[in-house]
């Protein structure tokens, strides 16, 4: 199966900017940005981020406030602070052998950096890779990681896989299967996530009087370290 997948990937693989580098910092940025965010939204933000902070050292020297402002629009803003703290740790101590020691870096992200930047023979298993593995029953190697991600994202999709164009269909025991829709996150419109995001945008633009803001959103943002509340005002950290 891996050979057929490799041929398919050579003709259909997505041209993503982080696939043109082996820099562990750039790959870490791409992986953190792509968590729960569509790839087409990530590409321009990734490129802008690397233009502003091209190395782990330059990001480490940035203020948390600037990092939060640059992250605006990507959502899940705690990721920005985690990435910033990880950069500071790497700048001070180097890349650890166990990448999960870095703030905000879980098993998948650690394996992705290890595979794509450091050349380690570990397969990073995201939702797309896991789906292809489970449906085919095949044990793929780390060399197939990028191809598996693209196949899962564009062909072996969640509900109605496109088996008619899948390079693995002939030997796949799940060929022709259909799947129940996965439980989706509630709508953003009108949600507390939206209230948090709106509040953070206001504070990112300028320091705000605490009484003018959504108190529950401010409290939640403060718990996550995304804002500071002092002397009756709310501001970004640092």
pLDDT tens for residues 120-132? Answer: 999 999 999 999 9
Residue at token pair 């709310």: 234
Q: Note whether 154 and 227 are same-domain residues.
A: no
Read off the DSSP letter of residue 213.
S
pLDDT value for 56: 98
Counting the structural domains of the chain, the total is: 3
Q: What percent of the chain has pLDDT over 70?
A: 98
What CATH number is attached to the domain comprising 45? 1.10.340.30
pLDDT category of residue 232 using cuts at 50, 70 and 90: very high
Kindly report the length of the chain.
238
Catalytic, 31? Answer yes
Shared domain for 72 and 143, answered yes or no, is no
The β-bridge partners of 230 are 233
DSSP state of 182: P
Both ends of the chain: CA-CA distance in Å? 51
Whether residue 17 lies inside any domain: the answer is no
d(CA 169, CA 217): 48
Under the phi-then-psi rule, with left for phi > 0, alpha for psi from -120 to 50, and beta for the rest, what region is 158? Answer: alpha
The reply to whether 106 and 42 lie within a common domain is yes
pLDDT tens digits, 63-112: 999 999 999 999 899 999 999 999 999 999 999 999 999 999 999 999 99
pLDDT in tens, 127-148: 999 999 999 999 999 999 999 9
Sign of the alpha-carbon dihedral angle for 7, 12, 13, 15 = positive
Tell me which of 31, 70, 180, 207 is the catalytic residue.
31
Instruction: State the residue range of the domain holding 208.
Output: 192-235
């Amino acid at each position: 199966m891996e050979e057929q997948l490799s041929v398919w990937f050579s003709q259909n693989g997505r041209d993503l900017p982080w696939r043109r580098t082996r820099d562990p910092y750039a790959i870490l940025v791409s992986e953190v940005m792509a968590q729960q965010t569509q790839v087409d939204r990530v590409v321009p933000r990734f490129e802008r981020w690397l233009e502003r902070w091209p190395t782990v050292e330059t990001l480490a020297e940035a203020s948390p406030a600037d990092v939060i402002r640059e992250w605006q629009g990507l959502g899940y803003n705690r990721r920005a602070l985690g990435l910033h703290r990880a950069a500071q740790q790497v700048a001070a101590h180097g890349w650890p052998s166990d990448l999960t020691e870095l703030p905000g870096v879980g098993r998948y992200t650690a394996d992705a950096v290890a595979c794509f930047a450091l050349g380690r023979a570990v397969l990073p298993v995201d939702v797309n890779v896991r789906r292809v593995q489970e449906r085919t029953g095949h044990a793929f190697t780390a060399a197939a990681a990028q191809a598996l991600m693209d196949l899962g994202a564009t062909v072996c999709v969640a509900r109605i896989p496109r088996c008619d164009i899948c390079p693995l269909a002939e030997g796949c025991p799940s060929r022709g299967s259909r799947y129940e829709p996965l439980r989706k996150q509630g709508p953003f419109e009108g949600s507390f996530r939206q209230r948090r995001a709106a509040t953070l945008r206001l504070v990112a633009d300028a320091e705000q009087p605490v009484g003018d803001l959504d108190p529950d959103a401010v409290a939640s943002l403060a718990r996550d370290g995304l804002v500071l509340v002092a002397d009756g005002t709310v501001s970004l950290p640092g």
